[in-house]
Chain A
Amino acid sequence: MKQGLFTIVENTRLTDSVWQMRLVGDTSAITAPGQFVNILLEGKFLRRPISVCNCEGDELTLVYKVVGGGTEQMSRMERGQELDILTGLGNGYDLTVSGEAPLLLGGGVGVPPLYMLAKKLIQEGKKVSVVLGFNTADEIFYEEEFKALGCDVTVTTVDGTKGTRGFVTGAMENIEYTHFYTCGPEPMLKAVWRASTTSGQLSFEERMGCGFGACMGCSCKTLTGYKRICKEGPVMRKEEILWQN
């Protein structure tokens, strides 16, 4: 983990409520896709944890959804503004167990961390399939970006306004894969966990205090003991998950 000042170089709207922010700063603490950063915002006591969408050289890309006052504040920020960010938080995805044909499943704002993961897997010569799930056509983002990486992309929408109608698990049935990686709302994670036929990794969310393992605010029970979502997570292995509801 590192604390550093990042300068915004771009902050643009992708959909009605999803924004992309590109920043420049010391990214050296970011070691794996699926990690997150924790952003200090003026007037807010707690930092805002946001998953890393991409990181290349000194450039960090975050894709975030405006859900409350903090993210709304972020959406109003402009090029040149500086942010105090803790980087390199969480374990991230393990690429070493992907096999030759990994499947990545993202739901809504759970899509962004899969981008850097897809990029790394493609770089390693894997055949990467991606299923991006949204509620409706207007909410879709990053479809072209994943295609540009060379992934085999399937889009699903719950209302059928674009791509395959239904949930990501529907599309999952028609894809052959060696390992799965997923991030999204918890009901989706659980559905993917149930439908999956291989080993896999799931990224979880929880309200956090510190984001670096000190406060025990985001603990969860797993089959391998108590874990902190922010420190031993957010990525959990399929076989260790103990569903609470």
Chain B
Amino acid sequence: MAELKVNLCGIEMDNPIIPASGCFGYGYEFAELYDINCLGTFSFKGTTKDPRFGNPTPRIAECTAGMINAVGLQNPGVEKVISEELPKLGQCFHKPVMANVSGFSVEDYAYTCEKLDKEEQVGWLEVNISCPNVHGGGMSFGTSPEAAAEVVRAVKAVTTKPVIIKLSPNVTDIVAIAKACEEAGADGISLINTLLGMRIDLNKKAPVIANKMGGFSGSAIFPVAVRMVYQVAHAVKIPVVGMGGVSSAEDVIEMMMAGATAVEVGAANLVNPFASRDIVRDLPRVMEKYKIEKLTDIIGIA
């Protein structure tokens, strides 16, 4: 009998599968399609202090084996997430959820995290210091070890739940940033956010995306993600959540062998709305194929 359970920062999960933020809304679109309680958990749409419309359209461009998005953190703001989205989610999801938070200042991050930390449904806080699609914030905190550590300290000071810091791959030394977060008190690291990318429309002779550049995701980035998860997992003692181009149970096993305790599934959900459910379903068969009895046995084995 395949054992899929993992423990992420002190919370036991039935399996390591986590639909990634921005690819799963606040859950209920998918709950119409299948029972999302089969998932380990999911990371809800990046939430900010104030409501945001996000960037102008077009926000989406297709790539070989992937896509670029420049949504720009569209969300109803933390007050509405708590008063409207979480109650709706509570109807269809009965496990601790991962609250994904973004901000434009250290104070923003602390404010939003403090609010969400008090919500019973929230199991973990995933702090996104890596959004490539907003100016004057997001990724700018994730590209310097000092700025990243400052966000971690501010959030940890006002919260009680595990704080997972989501890192950007758009840096020269991701290990230095991961270590800075660990030293500042982070309970976990998740990576990778999207790679900064761009497409140009040959007919229009102009960028496809209104914001010009955006975050590149999808199976094309999987090898980059595996490499970075491997590097970070070997450098820190706190758990690592691996993501980036994961679209199959085999990819999940590979991410875990690279050092991930849990694995997020992003763009794959947008192409196949059943992708995360299918991965959970396929895991025991793939584990058997590779003679894996317990998923926890393979974390960082490679």
Interface, chain A (partner B; CB < 8 A): 1, 3, 40, 44-47, 86, 206-210, 212-221, 226, 231, 244
> In the complex, A244→B272 CA distance in Å?
31
The reply to whether A215 and B270 form a contact with Cβ atoms under 8 Å apart is: yes
> In the complex, A114→B22 CA distance in Å?
33
Interface size class of B (residues with CB under 8 A): 35 or more
> In the complex, A81→B249 CA distance in Å?
28
Given contact pairs A215-B71, A226-B74, A1 touches B60 in the complex (Cβ within 8 A): no
> In the complex, A209→B54 CA distance in Å?
15
B172 at the interface (CB under 8 A from A): no
B interface, over-half SS: loop
> In the complex, A3→B34 CA distance in Å?
12
- What is the 8 Å Cβ interface bit string for chain B, positions 267-278, against chain A (1 contact, 0 not)? 101111110000
> In the complex, A207→B204 CA distance in Å?
15
> In the complex, A231→B273 CA distance in Å?
14
| 16 A–B contacts, CB within 8 A, in A order | A3-B272, A45-B67, A45-B267, A46-B271, A47-B271, A208-B60, A209-B67, A214-B23, A214-B25, A214-B273, A216-B22, A216-B74, A218-B57, A219-B53, A220-B57, A226-B74
B120 at the interface (CB under 8 A from A): no
The reply to whether B58 and A214 form a contact with Cβ atoms under 8 Å apart is: no
Interface, chain B (partner A; CB < 8 A): 22-25, 29-30, 32-33, 45, 53-54, 56-67, 69, 71, 74, 208, 218-219, 267, 269-274
Known: A44-B62, A214-B25. 18 other contacts (CB 8 A): A1-B273, A3-B273, A45-B67, A45-B219, A46-B62, A46-B271, A207-B58, A212-B273, A214-B24, A214-B30, A214-B269, A214-B270, A215-B71, A216-B22, A217-B59, A217-B69, A219-B54, A219-B74
The reply to whether A1 and B32 form a contact with Cβ atoms under 8 Å apart is: yes
Residue in contact with A45 in the complex, picked from B25, B208, B218, B269, CB distance below 8 Å = B218
Q: Name the distance in Å between A111's Cβ and chain B's nearest Cβ.
A: 22
Residues of chain B lying within 8 A (CB to CB) of residue A207:
57-61, 208
> In the complex, A44→B155 CA distance in Å?
40
The reply to whether A1 and B33 form a contact with Cβ atoms under 8 Å apart is: yes
Name the residue on A nearest B45 (C-beta).
A216
> In the complex, A212→B23 CA distance in Å?
11
> In the complex, A86→B66 CA distance in Å?
19
**For A207, A214, A215, which residue has the most chain B Cβ atoms within 10 angstroms?**
A215
The reply to whether A215 and B23 form a contact with Cβ atoms under 8 Å apart is: yes
> In the complex, A33→B26 CA distance in Å?
28
The reply to whether A209 and B57 form a contact with Cβ atoms under 8 Å apart is: no
The reply to whether A215 and B64 form a contact with Cβ atoms under 8 Å apart is: no
> In the complex, A39→B23 CA distance in Å?
19
Q: Name the distance in Å between B217's Cβ and chain A's nearest Cβ.
A: 10
Residues of chain B lying within 8 A (CB to CB) of residue A220:
57
> In the complex, A143→B65 CA distance in Å?
39
Q: Name the distance in Å between A175's Cβ and chain B's nearest Cβ.
A: 33
> In the complex, A220→B59 CA distance in Å?
11
Q: Name the distance in Å between B179's Cβ and chain A's nearest Cβ.
A: 32
> In the complex, A44→B271 CA distance in Å?
10
The reply to whether A46 and B53 form a contact with Cβ atoms under 8 Å apart is: no
> In the complex, A236→B32 CA distance in Å?
23
Residues of chain B lying within 8 A (CB to CB) of residue A209:
59-60, 67, 69, 270
**For B22, B67, B271, which residue has the most chain A Cβ atoms within 10 angstroms?**
B271
> In the complex, A210→B65 CA distance in Å?
15
Residues of chain A lying within 8 A (CB to CB) of residue B71:
215-217, 219
Q: Name the distance in Å between A36's Cβ and chain B's nearest Cβ.
A: 15
Residues of chain B lying within 8 A (CB to CB) of residue A221:
53
> In the complex, A209→B209 CA distance in Å?
12
Residues of chain B lying within 8 A (CB to CB) of residue A45:
62-67, 218-219, 267, 271
Residues of chain B lying within 8 A (CB to CB) of residue A46:
60, 62, 67, 270-271
Residues of chain A lying within 8 A (CB to CB) of residue B22:
215-216
Name the residue on A nearest B27 (C-beta).
A214
> In the complex, A201→B74 CA distance in Å?
26
Q: Name the distance in Å between A209's Cβ and chain B's nearest Cβ.
A: 5
Name the residue on B nearest A221 (C-beta).
B53
